Structure 1
Amino acid sequence: MKRRGIVVSRKKSKTYAYSYEQYEEQGKGPKNVVEDILADKEFPDLTELVIGCWGNPWEENCQEVINGIVANAGRFSHIEKLFLGDMNFEECEVSWIMQGDYSTLWAAMPQLKELTIKGSTDLTLGDICHEGLESLTIICGGLPRSVMKSIQNAKLPNLKKLLLYVGIEDYGFDGNESTVKELLEKSDFPNLDYLGIVDSEIQDELTEVVLGSKYMEQIRVLDLSLGTLTDKGGRLLLEKIGNWPNIKKLDIHYHYLSDEIKDKLEKLPIEVDTSEGNEEDAYDGEIYRYAMLTE
């Protein structure tokens, strides 16, 4: 599917995006996105809105898109799912995507149930307060502490799914396992059912943090995928996950587990995804493992 202006509709979801050629030749950019959405005859029938590449996302952020949605909140009142930044690496590397400030979005879209954000450069969430949001996903190469702090203090009483790409220092992660531990300790999501702390180069350490969190008593899906999980983390899972019969699925796809530990995890009496095993690299006596989304 080529992204040239307004693209193919799929049920009640539609993607709006500009190519770099449209930016260069027609001047299309973030200032035009909301205008074009509102002019689309199909838009009133949508429940899911996906914003892809806005022409030059490595130079201009998406603040005008966010501001446009907020300024026209009444006309976006039927949108229940929003994805801002859905673009592949050919359009823009994830660490280059210039995001924006979502502080005003929470009050402007009380009907919103799912929010997905891709990219963390200049990302600000502000004071999060939303009665209806059920799913929050942030896909990035590195999650800043400031963003984690906003999530830690968020008032999201109906949040069911939290999926955070932790990433690496080179692409914006400026915390450590203690930062994630504090988020899980101080946040209050009484209806959380799916917890994903993924895509980290300290996945073993984060596995220990997550297994020690209060959310283990309530979630049904534990997602520790896309990182550098080794046998150290795998053994922790084997030792402890049986303590929580509420866990029905464990997702650890993309990992660095040995066949022995992988086989043992697959025999757990729950659904376990151990696909995409990786082999570590060795160079000059050093061992190298890489999280999935590190470019």
Structure 2
Amino acid sequence: MTISDSTTTFHNKKVVQYDPDSAFDPSPDVVYRLALDYDDERKMPELIDSFLARADKATLEALVIGMWGEPYEAGADAVIAALASRALELPALRALFVGDMTYEECEISWIVQGNYKPLLDAFPQLEELRIRGGNELTLEPFAHQHLRKFTIESGGLDQKIALALAASSMPNLEHLELWLGADDYGFSGDVALYRKVLAQLATPGLRYLGLRDAEIADDLAAWLASEPLLASVTTLDLSLGTIGDAGAEALLQGTQLGNLARLDLSHHYISPANQQKLKALPFEVVLDDPQEEDQYDGEGHRYVAVGE
């Protein structure tokens, strides 16, 4: 699987591509996506200035940032700085998505990200932050009182990001989504590390936990099946990863899944017999996109859905 389409909805609003030469839609039901082409002579800070000159800055709730020129070479720090410098003019901004790019624009593992401390400091009222790309992504431990949804999409998440999250605070968090990826594309870490992340970030209001696109999906399932911190979670999302029968059997024997309404295991390597058992669980189990192991030299090989 590759990311072949730009985001169409964000923060419960329709995403519209911003064109400085077209009519501007001031409707509160849309969120604008700002993106440059490879041959664009403008820089993203200029496009941000152009957009904010036309938008109602006092009521702007959400913004999507797409390709910022050559994102496989130039990182997002200039984008972050441009947004942070205008923070006082954007008192209503509640949601940001930085890195909305398809594989044709830039493969997820090639996206050079940046340091998000200036942005988190500048927008203490932010409720949703979504980041795509883990290459050179920097997070320092932070405390943020209002974040409810926090997402990092990566083809390979470095353990330093998980360590920073394990030392951070988001007391109102409802949705935690991390794409772990594969070690070929930068993943490092283990279940013990993500146990620390959950121990730090689990809140009474946490409803969605996504540890997606993980090559350690079987190990994650074995841990989470008996993790008391899942008590408040209604959606457990282990999709896009490499879960197989070992993980499925752990979930079938799980002691801490009683409050789940939905378990997403899409893109999986689970046998038909265990799929049938999972479907009999007393909550929705999503088993779309079944996979088969590739065989090389007598060994089976599994792959996450989104790597490069």
**How far 1:185 sits from its partner (Å)?**
3.2
Alignment pair present for 1:292 and 2:305: yes
Alignment pair present for 1:155 and 2:176: no
**Counterpart residue number, 1:143:** 157
**How far 1:173 sits from its partner (Å)?**
1.1
Alignment pair present for 1:233 and 2:247: yes
The aligned runs of 1:158-197 (5 Å cut-off) are 158-197=172-211
* 1:13 alignment partner, one of 31, 42, 45: 31
**Counterpart residue number, 2:81:** 67
The aligned runs of 1:244-283 (5 Å cut-off) are 244-283=257-296
**How far 1:186 sits from its partner (Å)?**
4.0
- CA–CA separation in structure 1 for the residues paired with 2:118 and 2:165: 15
Structure 2: runs of 5 or more not aligned: 1-5, 7-15
* Higher RCO, Cα 8 Å, sep 6+: 2
Q: Which stretch shows the higher mean deviation, 32-41 or 85-94?
A: 32-41
Contact 1:30 1:61 in 2 (8 A): no
**Counterpart residue number, 1:55:** 69
> What secondary structure sits across from 2:66 in the alignment?
strand
- CA–CA separation in structure 2 for the residues paired with 1:127 and 1:278: 37
- CA–CA separation in structure 1 for the residues paired with 2:103 and 2:269: 24
Q: Which stretch shows the higher mean deviation, 230-239 or 175-184?
A: 175-184
**How far 1:201 sits from its partner (Å)?**
1.1
Contact 2:36 2:44 in 1 (8 A): no
**How far 1:179 sits from its partner (Å)?**
1.9
- CA–CA separation in structure 1 for the residues paired with 2:103 and 2:202: 34
Contact 1:4 1:19 in 2 (8 A): no
> Given residue 273 of structure 2, which amino acid in structure 1 is its aligned partner?
E
Structure 1: runs of 5 or more not aligned: none
- CA–CA separation in structure 2 for the residues paired with 1:283 and 1:41: 56
Q: 1:33 to 1:147 in 2, by over 3 A?
A: farther
Alignment pair present for 1:36 and 2:54: no
Query: Which deviations, in whole Å up to 9, do the C-alpha atoms of 1:90-134 show, x marking residues without a partner?
Result: 000001101111112223112211110000111112132111110
Alignment pair present for 1:77 and 2:91: yes
Instruction: Tell me the TM-score normalized by structure 1.
Output: 0.91
Query: Which deviations, in whole Å up to 9, do the C-alpha atoms of 1:132-163 show, x marking residues without a partner?
Result: 11000100011111111121111110000000
Query: Which deviations, in whole Å up to 9, do the C-alpha atoms of 1:190-231 show, x marking residues without a partner?
Result: 321111111111110111122343321221111111100001
> What secondary structure sits across from 2:156 in the alignment?
coil
Identity percentage of aligned residues: 36
- CA–CA separation in structure 1 for the residues paired with 2:230 and 2:203: 12
* 1:126 alignment partner, one of 115, 134, 140: 140
Instruction: Tell me the TM-score normalized by structure 2.
Output: 0.88
Larger helix fraction of residues: 1
